[in-house]
Structure 1
Amino acid sequence: MENLFDLTGKVAVVTGASSGLGADAALAYAKAGADVALLARRIDKLNGVKAEIEKTGSKVIAVGCDVTNEESVKAAVQTVLDTFGHIDILLNNAGVAVHGGVDSMSVEDWDKSFDTNVKGIFLASKYVLPQMKERGYGKIINIASVNAVVADKFDVFIRHSYNSSKAAVVGLTRGMAASYAKYGITVNAIGPALFESEMTSETLFKSEKFLTQYNTLNPAGRPGRRGELNGTVLYLSSDSSSYVQGQFIIVDGGGALV
């Protein structure tokens, strides 16, 4: 049977690849046959992920990169191109979740959310897109959040800058999709709900009250498990989704239905 998610010969770039969903996706790419470029600020963490991916036999490089800094992104993308010659897939995964409401959070924290969650996608895409357009092929997947369309309802975890920045990711995805489809480039977004990761383990997963409420309201009755996002990532990164454009796929156990 044909492997619909086969990525043999493809080169995938993953931002925010040092831990959590980014690291999991990078390993999934390698297992599907792709060569992988890992981008993040913490090079020591990246090297740990790199060692794991090397066991699959795929080629992998770890590149230090701050997605909020244009020169850092520009240099990182050039390093990938110098190493692999081209980029087929860009997974814009780098993100932060800053807690606080409009009436209480600082301007610095507001800007931090948008710099990482929106500007980071803009910069990475800006420097990857030219060679995708030239080659007439590309897959860009932006990690948004279910919270782009579903507000946090728990007072203990109000995240207005997160809600709004992730909604902006969905809008950016649709705009890019409409503009770049004619170049053979698909642009789609994924909206994960609660998954355990480095970002959530020290906050959401430490609140028994929050988890009880979340599990009660979510039809699946639980958070997402490690690896459960990978199928959606691989689908949107493979030629199986060649006619899927500008979509926002929510992976949340049915929570957005409530």
Structure 2
Amino acid sequence: MINSPFVLKKFMHHPIEGIQASHKANTIGTPHQHTWCQLQYAIKGTMNIIASDQSFVIPPQRAVWLPKHVEHQVNNLSEVDYRSLHISDELGQQLGNKVKVIEVSDFLRELIIRGCEAWQAQYPLNDINKAMMTLLIAEIQQAPVSPLHLPWPKDPRLKKICQILQHNPADNRTLPELAQLSGASVRTLNRLFINECQLGFSDWRQKLRVLIGLERLQTNTSITQVALELGYSSSSVFINVFKKHLHASPKSYLKRQ
């Protein structure tokens, strides 16, 4: 993995400002935050965004909403054609103060692309741009929320286990086996998973594998290869787990993007 180029903007001069950029495959972003809100979207490729103690996988037809002061980092395995809208806190207050992934309709996609083209540098705040901004905010407000996120724990004992599984998703050790590395009992770890991640250990690991698998499928890796890389004995087991969490088979899900 290589570091992606990054320049932190210090000020906003308009209610919404657009960014258009491309990132090479296998790049790591710089963790940062700012005093305005942000909508991040990729028209090509898949982003992995770490924000607010959660990991988000953002394929095309999904975008992530980031309120102000939320530290976030954007990474990607595949090449990404990226669009981002910086949105003033005044407008952003209408869209909520929690990080979330939203589904992007065809209309919202066109608004994002058009906005990123038009709202750069010293653009005029005329009636057309104001109307587009009103439509954009309304479309984000009503967009369905997507389940493409994975809660990340704060407790260092549980975080150690989660990091082990993130670095090697094919690790099939049981929770009692992993507990020996954490300094906590199985009972304590089970309680922490529910309290901090809102998921039991098995479901958390399944969702981790689904999101990592979704990233790898975007690089044109076969379903069978991805399944084996994630520690599954066959592609059919992975497909069943994928359906459980994203309510579609990998092929059907990718066709919708």
Asked if TM exceeds 0.5, the reply is no
Higher strand share: 2
Structure of larger gyration radius: 2
Q: Give the TM-score, by structure 1 length.
A: 0.28
